[in-house]
Structure 1
């Protein structure tokens, strides 16, 4: 079986139409890539940043007995788009390409007795706390410095029998880690429905789904009671973290512990200034010379 890729380069306003066009022509998947090596600024909460010029790629499954008429497909696409729109095609080698990234993951040791283990690999230390993870649906594997910093903090924080919030849960790695480390209940939330699904799946994979609640932010706001959390961890970005500081203060008990990540060194001062209104910042930890974790307790 072969896989056909159709690449169409368009301006930002045409992205949604082009994505819909490729899907209507039978694409099994559509991806977006930067066409001009343009840096993106950190988005505001709820925003999805996009480059000015975007490569929209549709992937098609081609059966040898029913080959795709590539010329006809491209000709039809061109009829729907401006005349000068660049379109090209290529054939991918026969492979399980959608899961080929699995070859690049290895178990990650967080501490002496705490590992992150991809679900398809054996645990290096059977007696340790081994968090099994399928990172394929959403961000959060333990490889990124900010995720590692949060895991490291959880591994040295007493979460036993505590109520924990994992805000911006991604793959659910932090919430699941807290449950494996003894948390009574974890409330996880993310703006991405795929993250909600991934968190549920990873919790089930680790046998802790019965102690997890996960949902979108509006569902979380309806579910969670103020001043209920003993521990809060949020691995997102500096802008949303600063916006959410008053809400985090409302959600946590006096003296509740917190850890924030997704912050680069240049942003630490601003984030701390915002959080000092509600929290006592006790520690700033850095990894890979750029990424930082800010931790401490809510004001008494």
Structure 2
């Protein structure tokens, strides 16, 4: 089966309106992208979990997929009329039938984290049979090892897990950090996340990797202290969670925080200094990973 892809160029104020209208008029899927993606003018947009993004890209592309027999020109005209907007600029591209599973899989290769640690999709073999390989597929929850914040945390774990530590991964997402800690030799390891889908993904991924972790929604999480607390979230949640994370880290225990833009690191350090002594941060592509020892 073939499809038609509509690529409609508009501004940030109209992109979401067109997105909703096209979906209501029969689009099979709709997404919004930066018109300047993959150029020097590309603009990253970040939002906190559960909060809407206030501003899209100044020049956005609305991508909508339609069946091959749909009159897309008529749908665009109807959308513009419904929204009381001038006719937008757009193109329609024919999309040939493909093996979408193979196409998607081809976009995800093994990711080297360190000389001995790899993230490997299940349809690949780890390039280094002697390495510690975490089998992880893109799926229900965030965290495949490709984002700088996840990579920084994994590299810290690879360098610092001595063996036997009990670990808390707060905001566990896919469970990748908890699984990595276990495969690197950590002892009892728990994960906590506010998203019930993360519980499903984390348990499935742990089973796939042959490790046993315990994963909880916040209200069900045990109230105990840990040798190591890791939280790869974002700056605002980390600020709010400071007393809780401090309470979960034993005296002399280690804290690892990421999901923090470099220019925001001082804000986090200022808040957590009440309980922790920080070491030098690690930075990659504008993101930082902070580590500290509980006072």
**TM-score (normalizing by structure 1):** 0.78
CA displacement 1:52-82 (0-9 Å, x = unmatched): 65543222344xxxx2232343343334222
Give SS of 1:156's match.
helix
Q: Secondary structure at the match of 1:166?
A: strand
Q: Do the aligned residues in 2 keep the contact of 1:281 with 1:294 (CA within 8 Å)?
A: yes
CA distance in 2, matches of 1:163, 1:80: 58
Instruction: Using the TM superposition, give the Cα deviation of residue 280 of structure 1 relative to its aligned residue in structure 2, in angstroms.
Output: 1.8
Match of 2:263? 266
Change (3 A) 1:253 1:27: farther
Is structure 2 residue 88 aligned with structure 1 residue 91?
A: no
Selected match of 1:48 from 40, 52, 64: 52
What's the counterpart of residue 247 of structure 2? 250
Q: 1:296 to 1:9 in 2, by over 3 A?
A: same
Assess if the C-alpha contact under 8 Å between 2:202 and 2:215 holds in 1: no
Aligned to 2:31: 31
In the alignment, the residues of structure 2 paired with residue 253 and residue 117 of structure 1 have an alpha-carbon distance, to the nearest angstrom, of 33
Report the Cα offset of residue 35 of structure 1: 5.3
Task: Find the counterpart in structure 2 of residue 119 from structure 1.
Answer: 122
The equivalent position to 2:193 in structure 1, one of 189, 193, 199, is 189
Give the conservation status (yes or no) of the 8 Å contact 2:32–2:62: yes
Residue 68 of structure 1 aligns to a residue whose secondary structure is: coil
**Corresponding residue number in structure 2 for 1:58:** 64
1:291 aligns with 2:278: no
Distance 1:4 1:195 in 2: 34
Q: Which position in structure 2 is the counterpart of 1:146?
A: 149
In 2, distance between residues paired with 1:134 and 1:9? 32
Q: Give SS of 1:178's match.
A: helix
Could you give the per-residue CA deviations for residues 58-114 of structure 1, whole angstroms, max 9, x where no partner exists?
22344xxxx223234334333422231526332224334576353344323334432
Match of 1:173 among 160, 171, 176: 176
User: 1:213 Cα shift?
Assistant: 0.9
Q: Counterparts of 1:77 and 1:128 in 2: how far apart (Å)? A: 53
Cα–Cα, structure 1 residues 199 and 5, in superposed 2: closer, same or farther, change >3 Å? farther
CA distance in 1, matches of 2:200, 2:25: 27
TM-score by length of 2: 0.79
RMSD: 3.2
Structure 1 SS opposite 2:281 = strand
